[in-house]
Amino acid sequence: MPSSPIPRDTVVDSLVDRLRDDVLSGRYPPGSYLPPERELAAGYAVTRTSLKHAIVRLAQAGLLETRHGVGTRVRDYERLGGPELLPMLARTVGPAWMAEIFEVRREVGARVAARAAEHATAEQRALLRNLVDEVRNAPDADAAQLAECEIHRVIGGATGNRVYGFMVNALLNAYLAVREGFAHAFADPGAAADRLAPLIDALCAGDPDRTRAAADAYFAETEAIMTDGRP
């Protein structure tokens, strides 16, 4: 059982985080039942009311399911879960998931960018060029990183397919949950903009093949920088 009490200032939020981490780290593996509420609440030093609120939130997130008269069980989230779980997984057991997230980022990102090259509106193309300038002129790595994320959201929207947009959002949300660990890739905003420029130029030219190749190159280069810390 947990050994340290939960801070009482944001007790439910903190309890959600602690219980989520205990589930995703394997303390309570998929298919297992949580200890009885009274025991679990005492272990976290919270009230049963706070515990019930936390369980409801984690059930809504797809990690737990409560059966009346039986108890609360950890769902088989790898089999039944959706992309909404990715931010939780990246934040809690990130190294075990980030390689797979980066792999999907490369494969989905290139396809999404190529489709956007065919379907982007003039307004979206102009916005993408402006966002590259925003990256280049960003005052710090944080601002450059957030502007780069917005570029990918716009590209997702420019496909004209809302499902692609949701997929991009899911990957971005997982990335944003741990983005501080990748901020070094944007320490030089000008260099970050230079890496983006070939992709955005190809997309804005409406050339899907060149866009796919540029996206492949961009994702591979930025992944290398993000994962081994090279400037």
20: CATH? 1.10.10.10
Q: Are residues 95 and 187 part of one domain?
A: yes
- The amino acid at residue 168 is V
**Parts of the chain with a pLDDT under 70:** 1-9, 93-94, 229-231
DSSP state of 34: P
Residue 87 within a domain: yes
- The amino acid at residue 67 is R
Query: How high is the pLDDT of residue 75?
Result: 92
Sign of CA dihedral 125, 100, 34, 65: positive
What is the DSSP track for 88-136? HHHHHHHHHHHHHHHHHHHHHHHHHHHHHHHH--HHHHHHHHHHHHHHH
Cα separation, 84 vs 47, in Å, equals: 28
Q: Are residues 185 and 217 part of one domain?
A: yes
- Can you read off the two tokens belonging to residue 112? 């999404």
Cα separation, 71 vs 213, in Å, equals: 52
Query: How high is the pLDDT of residue 11?
Result: 86
Q: Are residues 118 and 40 part of one domain?
A: no
Q: Are residues 32 and 96 part of one domain?
A: no
Of the residues 74, 92, 110, the one at which a domain ends: 74
Q: Are residues 94 and 43 part of one domain?
A: no
**Burial class of residue 186 in the structure, from the number of CB atoms within 10 Å of its CB (0-12 exposed, 13-18 middle, 19+ buried):** buried
Sign of CA dihedral 162, 204, 128, 102: positive
Q: What are the phi and psi torsion angles at 71 (to 5°)?
A: 140, -170
- Could you give the number of structural domains in the chain? 2
Q: Are residues 70 and 101 part of one domain?
A: no
Q: Are residues 132 and 222 part of one domain?
A: yes
Q: Are residues 129 and 59 part of one domain?
A: no
Q: Are residues 104 and 42 part of one domain?
A: no
Query: How high is the pLDDT of residue 4?
Result: 58
Query: How high is the pLDDT of residue 140?
Result: 97
Run of H or E including 213: helix 208-228
Could you list the residue range(s) of the whole structural domain that residue 191 is in?
Answer: 83-229
123: CATH? 1.20.120.530
Q: Are residues 196 and 115 part of one domain?
A: yes
Of the residues 74, 98, 123, the one at which a domain ends: 74
Of the residues 30, 55, 74, the one at which a domain ends: 74
Residue 68 within a domain: yes
Q: Are residues 130 and 50 part of one domain?
A: no
- The amino acid at residue 70 is V
Query: How high is the pLDDT of residue 231?
Result: 43
Query: How high is the pLDDT of residue 6?
Result: 52
Residue 6 within a domain: no
Q: Are residues 202 and 115 part of one domain?
A: yes
DSSP 3-state assignment of 66? strand
Query: How high is the pLDDT of residue 230?
Result: 44
Query: How high is the pLDDT of residue 9?
Result: 52
